[in-house]
């Protein structure tokens, strides 16, 4: 499939301005060194006052979102943050983890806190494209008993679509999802239908079951902004899970954000300033993942078969902008890029046989590369 890079792809404290408080020289120096949290510095870099106020509002909304999600999801704080970053950056996410880690519950909880339409698609080997996109059926019209074709929308026509166990569907069905994810539209029998924004595909995948699965090709994996890994909860969190989920049923979560507001926040995220050197960092980081590039270190050439493409650079910048805005910061920082880099790069760095024989995974390679660039 063609890898289009020109298309649009498409957290925690809120700074409080206290201009009347007398600051010590040390405080003043620290503020000068941290322009990402200064409203004055943001305005001087081209961020209008209305956007500064909007980022403050987004930070508070994000805190309310996390509090609401915590009512149904115990732990997984980093996963919730990564998912929010992806959503407000207008991207799609692939959640990977063993069964029982509440992947499906997490996505449905997000749908409840967003005042959006939600559909769940359970992928199976016999699922056909029409089961996702919809199809034309013959209906009898009201005049003269004539019969006409009428399009019946499939479950992909929703603001949030949960593609559960997406790797269980055959390639033809996955390609139908691919068009929806990339183009925000579907084509049925030669007719094109537009999906209304905001539109998110949140897919889940089980890494340990291989029988009856169709691994996602790299071209489709590249359409996901983030690959979010879910790990087992801690012992204390598992005890809380046992205590809080074996009693009486809990009520529905509160819907906090409507669709128009989400679209406004997504546009706001794209206006967050990014210093020039961070663009250079993102380009350098991605180019170093490609074994054929002169920038790549020798150990990358020895362990990586294929590196990340230009879309990874776009997602690094968008992810950094989104993380900064959610945390109430007015400018993206290096910390923001480093925080989103594993989720952006892990599924785009393809290891070779030498890496597998040494136990080197994509995540270990990305972690080492970020560490080495930090030490340069």
Share of the chain above pLDDT 70, in %: 85
CA distance 284 to 345: 13
> pLDDT tens, 248-291?
777 778 888 888 999 999 999 999 999 999 999 999 999 999 99
Q: Which helix (H) or strand (E) holds 43?
A: helix 39-44
Q: What is the pLDDT of residue 227?
A: 93
> CA neighbours within 13 Å on the CB side: how many for 117?
11
> pLDDT tens, 360-372?
899 999 999 999 9
pLDDT band of residue 39 (cuts 50, 70, 90) is low
Which residue bears the tokens 């992928």?
A: 123
- Residues 10, 318: contact at Cβ < 8 Å? yes
- Would you kindly state where each structural domain of the chain is located, as residue ranges? 47-271, 272-376
Q: What is the pLDDT of residue 45?
A: 57
Q: Among 216-220, 235-239, 321-325, name the most confident range.
A: 321-325
The two structure tokens encoding residue 287: 């180019």
Q: What is the pLDDT of residue 283?
A: 96
Among 38-52, 258-272, 329-343, whose mean pLDDT is lowest?
Answer: 38-52
The string of DSSP letters for 199-212 reads: -EEEEEE-SS--TT
pLDDT band of residue 38 (cuts 50, 70, 90) is low
The two structure tokens encoding residue 43: 């305005």
CA distance 106 to 109: 5
The two structure tokens encoding residue 170: 């055959």
Among 142-146, 249-253, 256-260, 353-357, whose mean pLDDT is lowest?
Answer: 142-146
- C-alpha dihedral (58, 64, 68, 74), degrees to nearest 10: 90
- Residues 328, 14: contact at Cβ < 8 Å? yes
CATH number belonging to domain 47-271: 3.40.50.300
Region 38-49: mean pLDDT is 61
pLDDT band of residue 10 (cuts 50, 70, 90) is very low
Q: What is the pLDDT of residue 303?
A: 93
pLDDT band of residue 302 (cuts 50, 70, 90) is very high
pLDDT band of residue 191 (cuts 50, 70, 90) is confident
> pLDDT tens, 96-110?
888 778 888 888 888
Which CATH superfamily hosts domain 272-376? Answer: Magnesium chelatase subunit I, C-Terminal domain (1.10.8.80)
In b/e form, how buried is each residue of 275-304, taking b as 16+ CB within 10 angstroms? eeebeebbbebbbbbbbeeeebeeebeebb
Task: Give the relative orientation of helices 334-345 and 276-288 as an angle to the nearest 10 degrees.
Answer: 30
Count of CB atoms situated within 10 Å of the CB of 163: 28
Q: What is the pLDDT of residue 6?
A: 40
Q: How far is CA 205 from CA 73, 155, 170, 239, 327, in A?
A: 19, 19, 14, 26, 29
Among 12-26, 171-185, 361-375, whose mean pLDDT is lowest?
Answer: 12-26
CA distance 320 to 345: 14
SS3 186: strand
CA distance 350 to 199: 28
Q: What is the pLDDT of residue 41?
A: 55
Which residue bears the tokens 């594993």?
A: 342
Q: What is the mean pLDDT of the chain?
A: 83
Backbone CA torsion sign across 23, 24, 25, 27: negative
Measured in whole angstroms, the distance separating CA 324 from the mean position of its chain's CA atoms is 15
- Residues 323, 11: contact at Cβ < 8 Å? yes
120 phi/psi in degrees, rounded to 5: -115, 130
Q: What is the pLDDT of residue 64?
A: 92
């Amino acid at each position: 499939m063609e890898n289009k890079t020109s298309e649009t792809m498409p957290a925690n404290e809120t700074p409080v301005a206290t201009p009347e408080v007398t600051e010590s020289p040390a405080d003043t120096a620290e503020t000068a060194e941290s322009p990402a949290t200064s409203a004055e510095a943001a305005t001087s870099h081209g961020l209008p006052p209305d956007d500064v106020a909007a980022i403050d509002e987004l930070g508070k909304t994000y805190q309310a979102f996390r509090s609401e999600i915590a009512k149904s999801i115990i732990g997984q704080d980093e996963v919730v943050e990564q998912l929010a970053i992806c959503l407000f950056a207008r991207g799609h996410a692939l959640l990977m983890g063993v069964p029982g880690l509440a992947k499906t519950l997490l996505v449905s909880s997000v749908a409840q806190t967003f005042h959006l339409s939600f559909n769940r698609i359970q992928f199976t080997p016999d699922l056909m494209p029409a089961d996702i996109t919809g199809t034309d059926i013959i209906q009898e019209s009201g005049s003269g008993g004539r019969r006409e074709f009428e399009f019946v929308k499939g479950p992909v026509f929703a603001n949030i679509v949960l593609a559960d166990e997406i790797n269980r569907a055959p390639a033809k069905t996955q390609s139908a999802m691919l068009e929806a994810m990339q183009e925000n539209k579907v084509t049925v029998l030669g007719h094109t239908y537009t999906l209304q924004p905001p539109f998110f595909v949140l897919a889940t995948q089980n890494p340990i079951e291989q029988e009856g699965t169709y691994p996602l090709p790299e071209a489709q994996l590249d359409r996901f902004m983030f690959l979010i890994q879910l790990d087992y909860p801690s012992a204390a969190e598992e005890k809380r899970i046992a205590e809080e989920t074996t009693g009486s049923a809990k009520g529905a979560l509160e819907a906090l954000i409507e669709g128009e507001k989400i679209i406004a926040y997504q546009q706001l995220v794209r206006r967050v300033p990014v210093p020039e050197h961070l663009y250079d960092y993102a380009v350098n980081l991605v180019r170093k993942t490609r074994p054929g590039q002169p920038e790549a270190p020798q150990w990358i050439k020895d362990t990586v078969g294929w590196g990340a493409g230009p879309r990874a650079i776009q997602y690094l910048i968008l992810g950094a902008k989104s993380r900064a805005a959610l945390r109430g910061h007015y400018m993206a920082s290096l910390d923001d890029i480093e925080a989103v880099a594993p989720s952006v790069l892990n599924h785009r760095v393809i290891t070779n046989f030498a890496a597998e024989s040494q136990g080197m995974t994509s995540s270990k390679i990305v972690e080492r590369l970020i560490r080495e660039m930090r030490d340069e």
